[in-house]
């Protein structure tokens, strides 16, 4: 049987990358390596940092399964995830909550892990993570929440307390 694409979603600082790391040693699960127009610096996520020009070239070459913009950055899930899925592996990837309907249409087997935490916890974690400045953190906290499209299987996790 083919594998699933499992979208890990939730507001900035909720713990998407941290929760994904819990699956690293899980047999038959692969973490999607995203392509992002952000310099490849330290942090929980292993991603491919590219320039805007390189992102455009990759998009034109049809290298992406999904792509979107947020926080002044552009993000993509590479088309190479299809090989893992075809080989029966589940692929975990962070995507925008605004991309869930498109992702559900794109992947034959699709599920969502939705993480939530209080605004106070989000603010505290973003400030400790210190990847963004105060203005960017405020904008991230103010991003609107989304309704899940009908028919999508969603696993809800409240990521408060110990990870």
Ligand X SMILES: O=P(O)(O)OC[C@H]1O[C@H](OP(=O)(O)OP(=O)(O)O)[C@H](O)[C@@H]1O
Ligand Y SMILES: Nc1ncnc2c1ncn2[C@@H]1O[C@H](COP(=O)(O)OP(=O)(O)O)[C@@H](O)[C@H]1O
Contacts of 158 (CB under 8 A, 6+ apart): 115, 116, 117
Site map (CB under 6 A) of ligand Y, residues 68-107, x = contact: ----------------------------------------
- Cβ pair 25, 118 in contact under 8 A: no
Interface with ligand Y (CB under 6 A), residue from 22, 24, 40, 44: 44
Task: Pick between residue 4 and residue 16 the one whose CB is nearest to ligand Y.
Answer: 16
Of 63 and 141, which has the nearer Cβ to ligand X? 141
Please state, in angstroms and rounded to a whole number, the distance separating the CA atoms of residues 128 and 21: 19
* Partner that binds at residue 3, options ligand Y, ligand X, none, CB closer than 5 to 8 Å by kind: none
Residue in 60, 12, 55, 3 with CA at minimum distance from that of residue 32: 3
Q: Residue 94, interface with ligand X (CB under 6 A)?
A: yes
């Amino acid at each position: 049987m083919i594998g699933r694409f499992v979208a890990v979603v939730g507001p900035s600082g909720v713990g998407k990358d941290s929760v994904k790391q819990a699956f690293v040693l899980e047999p038959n699960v692969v973490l999607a390596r995203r392509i992002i127009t952000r310099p490849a610096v330290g942090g929980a996520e292993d991603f491919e940092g590219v320039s805007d020009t390189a992102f455009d070239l990759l998009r034109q070459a049809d290298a992406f399964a999904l792509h979107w913009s947020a926080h002044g950055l552009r993000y993509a899930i590479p088309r190479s995830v299809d090989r893992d899925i075809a080989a029966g592996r589940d692929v975990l990837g962070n995507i925008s909550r605004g991309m869930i309907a498109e992702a559900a249409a794109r992947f034959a087997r699709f599920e969502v892990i939705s993480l939530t935490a209080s605004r106070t916890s989000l603010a505290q974690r973003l400030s400790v993570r210190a990847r963004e400045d105060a203005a960017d953190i405020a904008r991230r906290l103010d991003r609107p929440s989304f309704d899940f499209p009908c028919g999508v299987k969603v696993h809800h996790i409240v990521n408060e307390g110990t990870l």
